[in-house]
Amino acid sequence: MSFPILSSILLAPVLGVLVILFIPEKEDKIIKIVSAIATGITVILSLIAYFAYDQSVGGLQFVEHIPWIEKLGVAYGLGVDGISLPLVLLTAIVIFAGVFASWGLEERVKEFFIFLLALVAGVFGVFLTTDLFFFYLFFEVAVIPMYILIGVWGSTNKEYAAMKLTLYLLVGSAFALIAIIAVYLYTGLGTFDILTLTKQTYDVGFQKFAFFLLMIGFGFLVPMWPLHTWSPDGHVAAPTAVSMLHAGVLMKLGGYGLVRAGIFMFPEGAKFWAPVIAGLCIVNVVYGAMVAMAQKDLKFVIGYSSVSHMGYVLLGVAALNTLSISGAVAQMFAHGIMTALFFALVGNIYNKAHTRMIADFGGLAHQMPRVAVGFVIAGLASLGLPGLVNFVAEYSIFVGAFRVYPALAVLAVSGIVITATYVLRVVQKVFYGPRNPRWDDLEDAKGVEMVPIVILCAVLLFLGFFPSLLMDMINNGVDPFVIDYLSTLEIGGMF
């Protein structure tokens, strides 16, 4: 067996936790450096895996398989394909950026980074595992640190938000767990291996049942309207790095689960429920964007914009064709980077100005030109401007969805106008206008603070101009499943 690259990605943050445990509390700097190194390793390893992945072969690669609870058929199995690999890379990039975005943290530094790294290990696990049981387990591993991180280091109504977020996520995962157990019992194969389970054929009635549970369960995570209200509250309350990881990556677990465990396993069930998802996701897109427009707190704007943008992911999923699903996965990646950038920038402003109310600002481009440039880039990505990777993702979803739900696709495309409106309003109100002397002592981002801004902007722009680096990989992962399981389906569509 060759070098266990995936286990190394998973263990790097765990190792980081162990090292930090032995560092004295007062050595803030060293704790941060260790975290940066641990997450830096995951970035490098993910990049290596990304470029070493052989697209001509496809399928799961870098597979590791160690039986664990043999009686139940639970195994420690890792492997990645064109769908999970971009998301692993996304996680690595976001957490690496997140560590630097938390560089200024002073309160309980040691505990913060321990929980942060534990959280990210859980997230990596979800994307890396090939076993449904571990899929669930890793997800739970991610949720608990999240609760503590928000509850302790958060702001703005943090206890309420942390509790709300955790309960919603637990309820969501409970639905998913029922589906997982049902599948296990139904097949009677005594295995949780996702690929094996995907290859089974299921009775249509069971598919409808199982997909429904997954749709609700993962719908909580994505989040699908009306199960979404935990997410803006959670984003707002969470400390910067947690918001980045949460909006950037954790929400993607829902989309990923829906694709991997939902439509690939239960195509008939997906076909049955897809119109419901399609209908609700338009509410996400349009309603989410309209609500974002009404917000007064910068973080709430971004929180609701995430609700709106994740609606595109759901639309891609609901359209059930290769292009739309590829677009959905690409959108998860693109949105993850973009929203992490947003949160890093807002965190930067909040740390210095101690307010996030839009009305308090104005003319901030005078004092913080670099933050302003970063914010404009994130905003342009958000409104789907060509040249940034989000555009390609959204465009793929639109084209894919248009073939199936033309009327809904038109509504979805209208989201780009609403998004432009609220994003540019925020940019104008915060950064443009005459110099406001109140903020004259705000320092622009510099040094370490620039690391997340530069990295995230660079990814958005680079993949925006060279999207095939991302799209080929994703398409490679999505295509075989759709040909195998979905091409035989005729989707009637709602409209």
Partner 1 sequence: MMESIGIKYIWLVPLAPLVAFILISLLFKRFKMLSAVTAIVSMAISFILSLDILRLVLTNHEITMNNPIEIAVPWIDINGLFIEAGALIDPLTAGMLFVVTFISLLVTIYSVGYMHDDPGFSRFFSYLGLFVFSMLGLVIANNYFQMFFFWELVGLCSYLLIGFYYYKNSAADANKKAFITNRVADFGFMLGIIILFVNFDTFNFGKLAEAINASSDLALITLAGILVFVGPIGKSGQFPLHVWLPDAMEGPTPVSALIHAATMVAAGVYLLARGFILFASSTTTITFIAYLGGFTALFAATIAVTQRDFKRILAFSTLSQLGYMVMAIGIGSLTAGMFHLTTHAFFKALMFLCAGSVIHALHKQDIFEMGGVFKEMKITGTCMVIGGLAIAGIPPFAGFWSKDEILLTAKANGFTLLYIMASITAFLTAFYMFRLIFLAFFGEKRSDFHAHESPLTMTIPLIILAVFSIFGGFIGAPFVEHGYASYVYFGEPHHPTPDLMVMVSSTLVAVAGIFLAWLIYIKKAISAEKIATQFAPIYKFLYNKWYIDEIYAWFFNKIVLGISNVFNWCDRYIVDGIAHSIAWIIRTSGYKGRYLHTGSLQTYGLVIFTAVVVITLFLAGPVVGGVQ
Question: Which of the residues 387 through 416 are near partner 1 (CB under 8 A)?
Answer: 387, 392, 396, 398-400, 402-403, 409-410, 413-414, 416
* Sequence-distant (≥ 6) Cβ neighbours of residue 171 within 8 angstroms: 220
Residue 365 binding partner 1, by CB under 8 A: yes
Can you read off the two tokens belonging to residue 298? Answer: 């910068």
Dihedral of alpha carbons 342, 355, 239, 20, sign:
positive
Residues 227-266 binding partner 1 (CB under 8 A) are 228-229
Q: How far is the CB of 287 from partner 1 (least distance, A)?
A: 5
User: What string of DSSP letters covers 22-56?
Assistant: TS-TT-HHHHHHHHHHHHHHHHHHHHHHHHHS-TT
Contact 124/42 with Cβ under 8 angstroms? yes
Cα diameter, the chain: 70
Residues 28-57 binding partner 1 (CB under 8 A) are none
Residue 147 binding partner 1, by CB under 8 A: yes
Q: How far is the CB of 194 from partner 1 (least distance, A)?
A: 19
Of positions 60, 424, 450, 454, contacts partner 1 by CB under 8 A: 424
Which of the stretches 90-98, 286-294, 344-352, 440-448 binds partner 1 when contact is defined by CB under 8 A?
286-294
Residue 59 binding partner 1, by CB under 8 A: no
Residue 471 binding partner 1, by CB under 8 A: yes
Residue 293 binding partner 1, by CB under 8 A: yes
Of positions 166, 240, 348, 382, contacts partner 1 by CB under 8 A: 166
Contact 123/242 with Cβ under 8 angstroms? no
Q: How far is CA 362 from CA 185, 245, 344, in A?
A: 59, 28, 19
| C-beta of 39 vs 326, nearer to partner 1 | 326
| C-beta of 98 vs 151, nearer to partner 1 | 151
Classify residue 206 by burial, with Cβ atoms within 10 Å: 0-12, 13-18, 19+.
Answer: middle
Residue 203 binding partner 1, by CB under 8 A: yes
State CA 244 to chain mean position distance: 9
Q: How far is CA 259 from CA 107, 176, 215, in A?
A: 39, 13, 10
Residue 321 binding partner 1, by CB under 8 A: yes
Residue 206 binding partner 1, by CB under 8 A: yes
Amino acid at site 222: V
Pairing label, strands 74-80, 61-69: antiparallel
Contact 483/267 with Cβ under 8 angstroms? no
| C-beta of 64 vs 268, nearer to partner 1 | 268
Which of the stretches 44-52, 340-348, 362-370, 444-452 binds partner 1 when contact is defined by CB under 8 A?
362-370
* Sequence-distant (≥ 6) Cβ neighbours of residue 3 within 8 angstroms: none
In angstroms, the CA 246 to CA 120 distance is 10
Residue 58 binding partner 1, by CB under 8 A: no
Interface map 451-470 toward partner 1 (x if CB under 8 A): ----------------xx--
Q: How far is the CB of 172 from partner 1 (least distance, A)?
A: 9
Q: How far is the CB of 159 from partner 1 (least distance, A)?
A: 9
Of positions 26, 29, 435, 438, contacts partner 1 by CB under 8 A: 435
Of positions 91, 295, 305, 339, contacts partner 1 by CB under 8 A: 295
- Counting residues that bind partner 1 (by CB under 8 A) gives 74
Residue 450 binding partner 1, by CB under 8 A: no
| C-beta of 347 vs 464, nearer to partner 1 | 464
Which of the stretches 86-94, 106-114, 167-175, 439-447 binds partner 1 when contact is defined by CB under 8 A?
167-175
Contact 94/340 with Cβ under 8 angstroms? yes
In angstroms, the CA 337 to CA 345 distance is 12
State CA 414 to chain mean position distance: 23
Which of the stretches 23-31, 39-47, 243-251, 288-296 binds partner 1 when contact is defined by CB under 8 A?
288-296
Q: What is the DSSP letter of 129?
A: B
Residue 444 binding partner 1, by CB under 8 A: no
Which of the stretches 105-113, 196-204, 257-265, 331-339 binds partner 1 when contact is defined by CB under 8 A?
196-204
Residues 104-143 binding partner 1 (CB under 8 A) are none
| C-beta of 41 vs 289, nearer to partner 1 | 289
Q: How far is CA 260 from CA 17, 93, 167, 335, in A?
A: 30, 22, 24, 19
Residue 370 binding partner 1, by CB under 8 A: no
Can you read off the two tokens belonging to residue 361? Answer: 């600002």
| C-beta of 40 vs 59, nearer to partner 1 | 59
Q: Decide: helix, strand or coil at residue 68.
A: strand
Residue 385 binding partner 1, by CB under 8 A: yes
Q: Decide: helix, strand or coil at residue 76.
A: strand
| C-beta of 96 vs 431, nearer to partner 1 | 431
Q: How far is the CB of 60 from partner 1 (least distance, A)?
A: 19
Q: How many residues does the chain have?
A: 495
Select from 117, 71, 54 the least CA-distant residue to 63: 54
